[in-house]
Amino acid sequence: MPKIELKHVTKRFGKFLAVDDLNMIIDDRAFVTLLGPSGCGKTTTLRMIAGLETPTEGIITINDKIVFSSEDGIDIPPDKRDVGFLFQNYALWPHMTVYKNIAFGLENLKWSKDDINKRVVELLDMLKIAEFSHRYPSELSGGQQQRVAIARTLATGPKALFMDEPLSNLDAKLRMEMRTELKRLHRETDSTFVYVTHDQLEAMTLSSRVCLMKNGYMQQYAPPLDVYRRPINTFTADFVGSPNINLIHGSVESVSPLVFSLPGDIKLGFDPIEKMNLEVGQKIILGIRPEHVAIAEDASMVEATILSSLPSGMETIVQLKMGDSHLHSVIFGDLDFDVEKKVGLAFTSGKFNLFDEESTNNLGQGRLKKA
């Protein structure tokens, strides 16, 4: 069964380092997302696994079979790797009908006409595009083209399916629909999915594991909620979650009891739930998820001023000024707040991540309390 393994994979384009010493194991039947800002090397990584791009160094194995090794000069062509690839712009062949597009791969495998017909019809039904089978791609909408592309990729039954930002050309409503569809397909086809996106919401909602990349480096490789709860550094903390996590710079005022001094003469106490070594005066960054900022009249830990209030019905995003730092809060329910009003803030629920300012790495978790 297809387990995909990358060992020390590096890709250089001239002097530009696209992917740097990447090590990763993609388990069988996993749904792994490569997530990161544009130019971080995620598409290159995917194309290297598929065999469309040749790594500069490293070893790639699919299903315990080495498909690429720079040492041993192995480079198995893409069509022998038994993988499917879904392109960002679908890459449907404009001169073939929907039916022909889907049948093409099967014809190359020398399937009989009847078998091809059976399989194509099955896929047309599965993706609900049977009525378009004799149309040309230019006569389909974006969402329909997307389905054809998926059907074409699935036709030959690849054990690993690679997708390069497949939903980025669709509108918001269709994207939502296709996300559900992809999750269903993942379950039904029983294959390994590797998915490239820059949309953290897609990564969070779809995948079983997220690989966060930046400038060719892998930053964190973990299940999405783990990344959300315990980001390994400020980059991954900031990349995941909407609205973004509040990253408040400050320094250690005293070690026992542990008190942080935040800009604008704000003091907050911190109860570590794991061991961490801090010194007085050390610069830190405190990570506070917006949903953990509660607006409370009484029992408040600190004072703040409301800068803006953006109610959307189900929730309201409030921008606040606490001392000299700004932070976002998400309040659930159809509430609105008066701008300029002074309120108290409480950080009673949730665990809070502490980062070192210099290295940006996670130092550990703890709870906030009144100083």
Partner 1 sequence: MSAKSRLNNFKSFIKKPHNIILIVLFVVLGYLTLVPLMTIIVDTFSVHSSEARFVKQPVGSFTLYHWNKMFASGVTSQKTFYEPFLNTMVVAFLSCVMAIAVGGFFAWTVTRTNIRCKGFISTVFVFPYIMPAWTLAMAWLNFFRNSRVGGAPGLFTVFTGIETANWFAYGLFPIVIVQGLHYAPFAYILIGGILRNMDANLEEAAMLLHANRWQITRKITLPIVKPALLSTFLLVFSSTMSAFAVPAFLGSPVRYQVLTTQMFRTLNGMNPGYGYIMALIMIVIGVGILMLNQWITGRRKSYTTITGKSSNISLFNLRKARTPLTIVLVTVLVMVAILPLFSFALESFIMAPGNYSFSNFTTEFWIGAGRADIANSEPGILRNPSIWLGLTNSLKLSVIVSLIAGTVGMLAGYSIAKRRGSKLSTWVNNLTFFPYLMPSMAFGAIFLSMFAVRRGFIPALYGSFWLLVIVGSVKYLPFASRSGINAMLQLSGEIEEAGTIMGIGWFKRMTRIIFPIQKTTFISGYLLPFISCMRELSLFILLVSPSTRILTTLLFQYNEKGWNQYANAINLMIVVIVVSFNLIVNKLTGASIDKGIGTN
Q: Which residues bind partner 1 (CB under 8 A)?
A: 47, 50, 52-53, 77-79, 83-85, 87-89, 91, 93-95, 104-105, 108-109, 136, 138-139, 152, 155-156
Give min distance, CB of 46 to partner 1, in A.
12
Q: Closer to partner 1 at the Cβ: 63 or 282?
A: 63
**Rounded Cα–Cα distance for residues 121 and 97 (Å):** 14
Give min distance, CB of 80 to partner 1, in A.
9
Q: Closer to partner 1 at the Cβ: 94 or 333?
A: 94
Q: Closer to partner 1 at the Cβ: 94 or 313?
A: 94
Q: What are phi and psi of 168, to 5 degrees?
A: -70, -20
Give min distance, CB of 47 to partner 1, in A.
8
3 state SS of 276 = coil
Q: What are phi and psi of 98, to 5 degrees?
A: -55, -45
What tokens appear for 294 in the block? 């509660």
Q: Closer to partner 1 at the Cβ: 75 or 253?
A: 75
Give min distance, CB of 84 to partner 1, in A.
7
Give min distance, CB of 22 to partner 1, in A.
18
Comparing CA positions, the residue from 182, 211, 181, 184 lying closest to residue 196 is 211
Q: Closer to partner 1 at the Cβ: 74 or 91?
A: 91
Give min distance, CB of 91 to partner 1, in A.
4
Q: Closer to partner 1 at the Cβ: 95 or 370?
A: 95
**Rounded Cα–Cα distance for residues 319 and 110 (Å):** 62
Q: Closer to partner 1 at the Cβ: 2 or 84?
A: 84
280 within 8 A of 254, measured Cβ to Cβ: yes
Give min distance, CB of 158 to partner 1, in A.
8
What tokens appear for 239 in the block? 């990349």
Reduce the secondary structure of 338-361 to three states and give it as a string: CCCCEEEEECCCCCEEEEECCCCE
Long-range contacts of 315-319 (CB under 8 A, 24+ apart): 317/243, 317/290
3 state SS of 245 = coil
Give min distance, CB of 127 to partner 1, in A.
17
Residue 300 CA to its chain's centroid (Å): 35
Give min distance, CB of 89 to partner 1, in A.
5
Q: Closer to partner 1 at the Cβ: 65 or 95?
A: 95
Write the DSSP symbol of residue 91. -
Helix axes 172-189, 142-155, angle to 10 degrees: 10
Alpha-carbon Rg for the chain in angstroms:
25
3 state SS of 120 = helix
**Rounded Cα–Cα distance for residues 159 and 3 (Å):** 10
**Rounded Cα–Cα distance for residues 218 and 213 (Å):** 4
3 state SS of 22 = strand
Q: Closer to partner 1 at the Cβ: 23 or 89?
A: 89
